[in-house]
Amino acid sequence: MTHAQWGRARPPLVHAEAWQAVMAAAEWRCECTGECGGHRSQPACPREDTQAHRLHVIPRDPHTSPLEAMRLRAGDLRAVCEQCHAGIARIARRDRARRQAEALRRAQQSLL
C-alpha cells in the first residue's frame, strides 16, 4: 500500500483511539501551518473537518512508512485536510526522490 492510499482511508489505519485524540487535540481543524506549500498568505490552514471533507490523521514526520505510522501515538500524529495532506505528501515524495538521486550519485562516484 502506498503512502497516498493509506492517507485516504477513514476510519484510518492509525489506532481509532489515537485518531480521536488527535482530532480532539486539533479541535477538528487542519493543523497544517504551511508545510504543504499551499495557503502561503495565511500560515495556518483554515479548513475544518466536515461531512464532505474529512480531515486525515497523518504522521508528523512525512517520511514515516505506513507500517510505522500504525504504531505511532497521538503525539506523533496530526490532523490535516485533504489539500494539505496532498501537498505534504507531494513535498515528501520530492524530498525522497532528491535524496535517492543524491545517494545514487554518491554511490556512482565512489565506484570511479
Binding site for Zn ion (CB under 5 A): 30, 32, 36, 45, 47, 81, 84
Contact between 66 and 1 under an 8 Å Cβ cutoff? The reply is yes
The least CB distance from residue 48 to Zn ion, in Å, is 9
The least CB distance from residue 32 to Zn ion, in Å, is 3
The least CB distance from residue 16 to Zn ion, in Å, is 22
Whose Cβ is closer to Zn ion: residue 18's or residue 84's? 84
Whose Cβ is closer to Zn ion: residue 53's or residue 105's? 53
The least CB distance from residue 27 to Zn ion, in Å, is 13
What is the DSSP secondary-structure string of 29-85?
B---SSTTS--TTSSS---B--SSS--EEEESSTT--HHHHTT--GGGEEEE-HHHH
CA distances from 94 to 63, 89, 102 (A): 11, 9, 12
Whose Cβ is closer to Zn ion: residue 26's or residue 45's? 45
48 phi, psi to nearest 5 deg: -120, 170
Whose Cβ is closer to Zn ion: residue 47's or residue 93's? 47
